[in-house]
Amino acid sequence: MKEKTTLSDELRRYGYVFSMKKSFLMAFFGMALMVLLGRFFALSLMPQTMVCLVGLFMMPLFLRNAYRNTYEQRRFSDANIYVEQFLYSFQKTGKILESLQDTMQLFESGSMKNTLTAAIDHILNTYNETDIVRHGLEIIEGEYHYDVLLSMHQFVLESERVGGEYQSSIQLLLDQRRMWAERLYSIQQQKHRKRREIILSILTSLFLCSAIYYMAGRVHLDVAHHPLAQWMTAFIMVLDLLIYYRADAKLTSGYEEVNPKLEKKLLAQYERMKSYGNMGWSDRLGKRIAIRKLTPEMEKAFLRWLMQLSLLLQTENVEVAIFRSYDRAPALIQPALLELCGALKKEPGNLAAYQEFLKEFTLPEVRSAMKMLYSLSTGSGGDAIHQIADMIQRNQKLKNEQDAMNEVDSLAGMYALFLAPQVTGGMKLVVDMILLLVLYVSNNPVIGGM
């Protein structure tokens, strides 16, 4: 069952500190803005009160979006700095604890400083468990669930365990961090522009709606104070508030944190996908849907496994490296890896075993990597380390480009929210034009009797 979180709890998590003075000032300025807009449209007491009450009710929601946006940006920035500095430190020392201690010095205070302190204390002062370093890093992962950070932790744990040359892999991780950071900084700028565009769309729509009142004044007709015009204006203002809230909420989210509970869900989906037969159309449809949902996560898991395998191949042959990689492989890829290990134990050098690995997923990088691994296992391949590094680098670039395109497509969906104020404004203009016509005809009986 999903744990319920109140709005006040969420605000406190984002760093909001309740203050009567601050709350009063925010309410005052919010009401002042609503009243100013109401006076612009000559709203009477009841419609004005409705608009103010809705605005007052929605103010905490807008406040949550603002604090959440700042909170997510700060977390992303801290994680970016942490990953970059940790990789540079590990490149020099090859030791996780020393890298953590070096990185912690960059943070003077705040959540990241506290999290790194807790991780280091766990590593230094825990004596009654195994995998102390891994559990220490899991403290950081529990607070910062970014895929780039998880990939880095998995790699350095494997590197410290098996040794070997890791400089080229560190460079791959640095390139991955750079592409990730550049992509998210770019998407942040695009979101700022979208937010401004939607605000301008709302304001433009409202000001255009006031043009009908100017036209009515030229012919001495009072459209603005007609009850239908009053309530229609209030209704449109409330709709525009809801439109902006919806846009603001969508533009605040999307910092790519991995849900810690996602792994179990993905494994369950994978098992369901494997259980589908090929007899009925419903089975084929269900399997196709499951594969489409799993493919992006399987691609990430496969790239992590390749990075891990590149370390093992420095000291082991291909098949032994595959066997040893199972225990620490990403959980999502373990069922398929278990099948591969079983097939290779029965028949070493079995080409079909390599070809059938993750065959359900149309991932070209998997086909290419498995062909290369088979060639290396038969002694007909080249330098395994450099070949895998080149493959990982190509796939990282392709994945980053695909993620960037997906995010652009997601922002393109905001165009409907950009147009929505024009639709609401059009509704008001139609009502006001009808009222203008009715009032004009009623005030000119000669025209009305023609």
**Whole-angstrom Cα distance, residue 91 to residue 436?**
75
CB 122 within 8 A of CB 139: yes
How many Cβ atoms are within 10 Å of 32's Cβ, its own excluded? 11
CB 137 within 8 A of CB 154: no
Q: If we measure between CA atoms, which residue out of 34, 67, 69 comes closest to residue 48?
A: 34
Query: The pTM is what?
Result: 0.75
Q: Which letter, b or e, does each residue of 390-416 get, where b requires 16 or more Cβ atoms within 10 Å of its Cβ?
A: ebbeebbeebbeebbeebeeebeebee
Q: For every one of its 450 residues, what pLDDT tens digit does the chain have, with 9 covering 90 and above? A: 344 567 677 767 776 666 667 777 777 787 888 888 888 788 888 888 888 888 888 888 888 888 888 888 888 899 999 999 999 999 998 899 999 999 999 898 888 999 999 999 999 998 887 889 999 999 998 888 888 898 889 888 888 887 767 787 888 888 888 888 888 888 888 888 888 888 898 888 888 877 777 777 766 777 778 888 888 888 988 998 999 988 888 888 666 556 666 777 888 888 888 887 666 677 778 788 888 888 888 888 888 888 778 777 877 788 888 998 888 788 889 999 999 999 999 988 888 999 889 988 888 888 888 888 888 888 765 566 677 777 777 777 777 777 777 777 677 767 788 888 888 888 888 888 888 888 777 776 655 444
The per-residue DSSP string of 45-69 comes to HHHHHHHHHHHHHHHHHHHHHHHHH
